[in-house]
Amino acid sequence: MSDAMIPTPVARRARRVLERVCDEELRLSTAESCTGGLVAALFTDIEGCSHAFERGLVVYSAEAKHEMLGVPAEVLDTCRAVSREAAVAMAEGALARSQADLAVSVTGFAGPAGDEGTEGHVHFALARSGVATEHREEAFGAIGRDAIRHRCLETVLEMLESSFP
């Protein structure tokens, strides 16, 4: 990923987070929708820590969320793909379908959302073996697709940082 795509402070922060994952001898997986693999790309660009990133899944469609992560069809039909329930199921599915110790998920409307939802409305989840899954909801507003996706990166990093004592 080019330096122009990711601001330097975010890249440095990602390095610190992934180094912490390494220090704890953990492995990380991602399940991404509106970020389209941006979180995985950020982590896989960090030299010397590649063993800490287990896998990344881009599950843009509802079908992919169901097929690849086991998000229940009822959740997708009733709560929709951009919901607390979907984000939690995505993170837990990524954890269950990998060799990772922790998994993060992102699902939302990077914009424009149209009739489907509100631009900048995003749900996140962090699943960790032996710990209750954490959920976070953000309303970034109509700040533009790239800005929303970058705010998603920052939110994922905040969640991972707070998962360590």
Q: Look up the domain containing 105 and give its range.
A: 8-162
Nearest residue to 13 via CA among 133, 165, 159, 137: 159
Q: What is the CATH number of the domain that holds 28?
A: 3.90.950.20
Element (H, E) at 10: helix 8-23
Per the DSSP assignment, residues forming a β-bridge with 105 are 31, 125
- pLDDT in single tens digits along all 165 residues of the chain: 444 467 789 999 999 999 999 999 999 999 999 999 999 999 999 999 989 999 999 999 999 999 999 999 999 999 999 999 999 999 999 999 999 999 999 999 998 767 778 999 999 999 998 999 999 999 999 999 999 999 999 999 999 999 987
Q: Is residue 126 part of a domain?
A: yes
Whole-prediction pTM:
0.94
* One-letter amino acid of 121: H
Number of domains in the chain: 1
The verdict on residue 1 lying in a domain is no
